[in-house]
Structure 1
Amino acid sequence: MAGRDISRNPSGVICTVLYLAVCLVLTGMVKFDQISEGEPIADAFDQVGMGRAKVLVGIAAAGLISVILVDIVAMGRVGFALCRSHSKLSGAAQARAVEQEMGENEMRD
């Protein structure tokens, strides 16, 4: 069933590139030993005198937390749908299913 395969998308690569870009810009703004561990991006803006940007970053962080919580709830639904479709069995699960079928056939004979 080729139509049911999960498509590949470049989102992981895009996220990695964006993450590295933010890290490079952050270390360009503030020396790496002066970056705050609690809220590094907001603190970096504050250290360079951009207090308004610090507020915007704080608001964006609160929004990201809510998105992450919604994604966690959605993961359960997606996992349930994948398990219910029976199309994505792992190699070990397929082997177990074959062994069970063989065992049932031997018991019938």
Structure 2
Amino acid sequence: MHAPTTRRYGTFSYLPPLSRAQVRRQLQHIVAAGWIPAVEHAAPTAAPAAYWSMWKLPLFGVQDADAVLDELDACHAAHPGHLVRVLGYDPRRQTQGLVFVTHREPAA
């Protein structure tokens, strides 16, 4: 069995990086479902751990995917060497409905 050439960080991580339009469509799904978007980041060496650092507070009441995109970009600009991910928290089921990495580490 061969070791993977890239780390896997959950949903969509087996695919090539998503385009901005593809990320936006996923964010539209999150807000349309009534889920609460949140942005998190972690250093690549710490990412496999259970906890990532939260970027600001969850985006309660946000209904615009572009506002979430802006926060993803701001987090990446503040932490350029970190992985950045977005999650959609489902308050009805009290669980994460969708989590995926939007900014990965540069390919080696």
The TM-score normalised by the length of structure 2 is 0.23
The structure with the greater share of residues assigned to helix is: 1
The TM-score normalised by the length of structure 1 is 0.23
Using CA pairs below 8 Å that are at least 6 residues apart, which structure has the higher relative contact order?
2
**Larger Cα-atom Rg:** 1
